[in-house]
Structure 1
Amino acid sequence: MKILVLGTSHSGTIRLARPEIAQAFPGLDLTFYGLPGAAFLTARCEGGVFGPARGDRFGRAKARKWNDTPEIDLAPFERIFCVGDRFQLMTMARLIGGHDILEEPGRAERPLISTAAAEALIDGLVGARVAKLAALFGPDPRFCFQPAPFPLALTRNTGPGHERALSALATHASAARWIAFYEAAIARHLAAAGYRFLPQPEETRSEACFSLDRFARPPVAGAKKPDYRHLDAGYGAQAFADYARRELGLTPSPAADDPARRASI
C-alpha cells in the first residue's frame, strides 16, 4: 500500500521513525513530503500536485532541501496521512487561558466569557481552518489529519521555550474539557469536509495540552533556543503505529514486537 505522509515540519517526526515503521509495517510503501508551517499555510494544490505557492521563495527552497521533489503529485497514493496542522490551537488557548469562564467556579480576575460564547468562537476558528484545507485539497477520502503534537510538559516552566498560552489554559480546572471540545470540533468539521481525524495518541500526552517530556529531541549543538515543539522518533513511531492500527487496520509485525520496540511503538 502506497502511503503519503504529508504535512508541516511536524511530519518530519514520523520521517525520523522510518526504520522502526519499516520493521513494524513492512507491507507499506511510505513517501514523505513536508513544508515549514508558514509555507504549508500558503501552499497550493493544482491538478492534484501539491507544493509551495509560486511566489514563496523560502517555501520552494525548503521544499527542495527537505524532499526528493519540489512538489508532490498526490495521484499515486492510496492513503494520505496529513500531519502537523495546529487547527488554531494557540488562538484557542489564548482565548480560554485569557478568560474566566462565567459558569465555572474559581476566578483569577480575568475577563469573563460564557461557555456558549467560548464554544462558538472555538468552533468558528476550527471551522475556518478546515474550510481552507477543504478549498486546498478538495473532497478526498484518502486524507486523514493528525494535528501537531502538543509541546512538551516542561514548557509550563518559565524560561526558554515557555508556552505562555497553553500554560494559561492549563490553569483552568476544565482544561481537559476544553481540549476535548476543541478536538471534537476538528473531527466534526473534517468529517463534514469528507476527511478523517486522528488525535494525538493518549499515551503520549501529559495533562490536557502537553506531551510527555520523554519525547524530547536531543539538543542541537549551537541552537539559539531549545525546540520543545518538535518531538523525537519515538513519538513518530507511536503516532504512525496509531494511524496504522486505527485507519489501516494493521498491527505491527512480530519482528517488531520486542520489549525495546514495544516501548516506542
Structure 2
Amino acid sequence: MRILAFGNSHVGAWREAWEGLYAEFPDIEMDFFSLPEKIHARYRLRATGLFAPRRNVTPAERERVAGINGRVECDLSAYDHAVWIGVAWHPERAAELAALGDPYPVGDAGAGRPAYGAGFVTAALAQAAEGVAEAWVAVPALRYRPIVFGRPVYAETCLASGHRLYAPWRGAQAHTAALQVFLDSYRAELVRAAAARGFGFLAPPADLSAPTGLTRPACLAAGGGAVDPAAPDARGDHSHMNALYGRRCIAHLLAEGLGLPL
C-alpha cells in the first residue's frame, strides 16, 4: 500500500516519526511532500489529483520546494491513499462557544451562563464546519477519498502567551466540560461537511490533548512552547510538534482513517 502524506510544515512531525516506524509496517510505503506554509497556501489540489503550484509561486520558491522534496508537485492518483496534513480546521470555533455558554444540560445553572440547546449547537457548528470545508474541492479523478488531517491544536503552553490568537482558548479554560462537548460536536460536523465534498476528515487524536482541549506540551518540537517574559504578547511557536506526536497521528490515520488492524 502506498500512502502520500502531503501538506505544510506539519508534515515534518510525520516524516520524523516514520523514520523510526516504517519497519513495523513492511506492507506500507509512505511518501512525503511538504511545503512552507506561505507557499502551501498558493498550491492547488486539482480535479485530476495533481497538487501543484499556482502561477504566483515564484521560480525561487519552486526551487526551494524542489530542494525539500526533489520535485515541485505531487500526483495523488499515483497512490492508494493520500492524507492532506496541517490543513486549518479552526477548533477555536468550539472554544469561542465554550467561553460564552454551556451546552444543555452541561454546566452550572447558578453560574449565570446561558445554556445552549442541542439544535443551536448543531446549527452553529455545522455552519462553521461548512465555512471551513468550502476550500476542500472534490477530486473526481481519484479512486479513493483523500483524507484531510487537521493541523495540530496549539499546545497548552500557549495559555501563558497574551497573543490574541490564543484568546479563545484562554476564555474557555474555566469551562472545560463545555469545551469538550463543543469540540466533539464540531469534529462530527466537519466529518459530515468533508464527506459532502468527497473527503474524509480526521482531527488529531483526542489522547494527545490535555483536559484543556489543547495539545500536551510533551508533543512540542524542540524549541517550541517558549514565552518570552520580555515579550509576553508575542505569538511564539506553540503548534509545531515532534515525532511522538507524528507517531500517534500515523497510527490514528491507519486505524481510524483507513481501517487497518494495528
TM-score, structure 2 normalization: 0.79
In structure 1, the partner of 2:152 is 149
Contact 1:52–1:59 at 8 Å: present in 2 too? no
Cα distance, 1:232 vs structure 2: 0.4
Q: How far apart in 2 are the matches of 1:161 and 1:102?
A: 25
**After superposition, what is the alpha-carbon deviation per residue over 1:222-247, rounded to whole angstroms, capped at 9, x for unaligned?**
x9974221110111011102222331
Q: How far apart in 2 are the matches of 1:62 and 1:107?
A: 54
Return closer, same or farther for 1:188/1:208 CA change in 2, 3 Å cut-off: farther
Counterpart pick for 1:195 among 174, 194, 199: 199
Structure 2 residue ranges without an equivalent (≥5): 229-233
* Corresponding residue pairs, total: 244
Q: How far apart in 2 are the matches of 1:184 and 1:241?
A: 20
Return closer, same or farther for 1:124/1:41 CA change in 2, 3 Å cut-off: farther
Q: How far apart in 2 are the matches of 1:118 and 1:42?
A: 33
TM alignment of 1:180-219, pairs within 5 A: 180-219=184-223
Contact 2:42–2:56 at 8 Å: present in 1 too? no
Cα distance, 1:61 vs structure 2: 5.5
Secondary structure of the 1:218 match is coil
Counterpart AA for 1:215: C
RMSD, aligned CA = 3.0
Q: How far apart in 2 are the matches of 1:113 and 1:53?
A: 46
Q: Calculate percent identity across the aligned residue pairs.
A: 20
Q: How far apart in 1 are the matches of 2:216 and 2:222?
A: 14
Secondary structure of the 2:82 match is strand
Contact 1:7–1:34 at 8 Å: present in 2 too? yes
**After superposition, what is the alpha-carbon deviation per residue over 1:199-231, rounded to whole angstroms, capped at 9, x for unaligned?**
3222211115211111121117xx997422111
Counterpart AA for 1:30: M
Q: How far apart in 2 are the matches of 1:171 and 1:62?
A: 44
Cα distance, 1:132 vs structure 2: 1.9
Q: How far apart in 1 are the matches of 2:147 and 2:190?
A: 12
Q: How far apart in 1 are the matches of 2:102 and 2:255?
A: 38
Cα distance, 1:54 vs structure 2: 1.3
Q: How far apart in 1 are the matches of 2:126 and 2:39?
A: 25
Q: How far apart in 2 are the matches of 1:161 and 1:230?
A: 18
Return closer, same or farther for 1:62/1:113 CA change in 2, 3 Å cut-off: farther
Cα distance, 1:130 vs structure 2: 1.6
Return closer, same or farther for 1:132/1:20 CA change in 2, 3 Å cut-off: same
